[in-house]
Amino acid sequence: MKKIVAIVVGALMAGVAYYFLVVPYEFEVRFSTKTLPGDVIETIRIWNRSLQQSKVEQVVGFNELSQQIFWEGSKYHFVWKFEAIHDSLTKIVIRISEPENRLTNKILVPFGNPKIEVDAAAISKAFFDVLKTHLDITRVKIIGESSLDSTLCVCRSLKTDQVSKANGMMSEYSLLISFVDAHNLKVKNEPIVRIEEWDHENGTLAFDFCFQIHPVDVLPPAETVTFKKFRGTRALKAEYRGNYITSDRAWYALLRYAEMNGYKTSGKPIEYFHDNPNLGMNERNWKAEIYLPITNGN
């Protein structure tokens, strides 16, 4: 009997020691959402901009994001864990710690309702509401295999944060319009974005924002823009509906589709925009076609 008691006491002490000395967080929140991890990560990045003094510290692939959050006078460290269950469901675990009060919190959390627990619930709900609003106005539909024709374009090359892509496009729109009008160039089809570099983990982009134009015998001199001819390619296609700020959500859907169906990608996403946000159309109905280049074999 004494031996059994000793084993039980030893196990309890080991558990307590593990909890206080090894577990790097004091509180945990779990929920699921009907989207992909990449979508959640980019929504966190946008939401983070609304939080004073908070910052996204690190993103590890599509599996983890660490974030520092200031909330109601306290500084918290959030570690978000993501698990894609299937194409339309992600499980999320948030491990929350307050470095300055770690020991106190570990003592109080099992027995009461300390501030870290109250704040964690409030912060998680604030983000969940933002994510829900985003998903309510955003739709991505995978079309499947498609192709892009070669095209001549007049472009501006930009480098921005991923969440600032649409703002970058807006800042260059008037310059491109003025150039094509000044030289009587005929624009065809929709404005496009061609991603040249994409660093998902750091959330940065290099891309060309372009107007497609009809060929001309002699190109006009260009100091503020660049003429580029893009070759046709085989690609996977998706249709995006929603605010163009978050059109990159279709990139993640296409990457997932390519991975699950054995396609080999051969380039970065290409976006074709069908609507002008300045015309007052409801953002739910803005349409873009998103392409992900692939090789000839899948």
Structural domain boundaries of the chain? 21-136, 141-293
**Residue 3: pLDDT above 90?**
no
Residue 202 φ/ψ, nearest 5 degrees: -95, -5
pTM as predicted? 0.89
Query: Averaged over 73-96, what is the pLDDT?
Result: 95
What 8-state DSSP symbol labels residue 243? Answer: -
The answer to whether residues 69 and 53 touch, using CB atoms and an 8 Å cutoff, is no
**Residue 111: pLDDT above 90?**
no
The answer to whether residues 68 and 133 touch, using CB atoms and an 8 Å cutoff, is no
Q: What is the pLDDT of residue 297?
A: 57
- Residue 143 sits at the vertex; the CA angle it makes with 138 and 147, to the nearest 5 degrees, is 120
Sign of CA dihedral 230, 233, 235, 237: positive
Residue 87 φ/ψ, nearest 5 degrees: -60, -20
Strand partners, 236: 145, 292
Model confidence over 45-69: pLDDT tens digits?
999 999 999 999 999 999 999 999 9
Distance of alpha carbon 226 from alpha carbon 39, whole angstroms: 32
Q: What is the pLDDT of residue 87?
A: 79
Segment holding 71, helix H or strand E: strand 64-71
Q: Does domain 21-136 have CATH number 3.30.1330.40?
A: no
Q: Does domain 141-293 have CATH number 1.10.1660.10?
A: no
Tell me the average pLDDT of the chain. Answer: 90
**Residue 9: pLDDT above 90?**
no
**Residue 13: pLDDT above 60?**
no
The answer to whether residues 61 and 201 touch, using CB atoms and an 8 Å cutoff, is yes
Model confidence over 156-207: pLDDT tens digits?
999 999 999 999 999 999 999 999 999 999 998 889 999 999 999 999 999 9
**Residue 271: pLDDT above 80?**
yes
User: Which percentage of the chain shows pLDDT scores above 90?
Assistant: 81
* CB-neighbour burial class of residue 279 (10 A; exposed 0-12, middle 13-18, buried 19+): exposed
Q: What is the pLDDT of residue 11?
A: 39
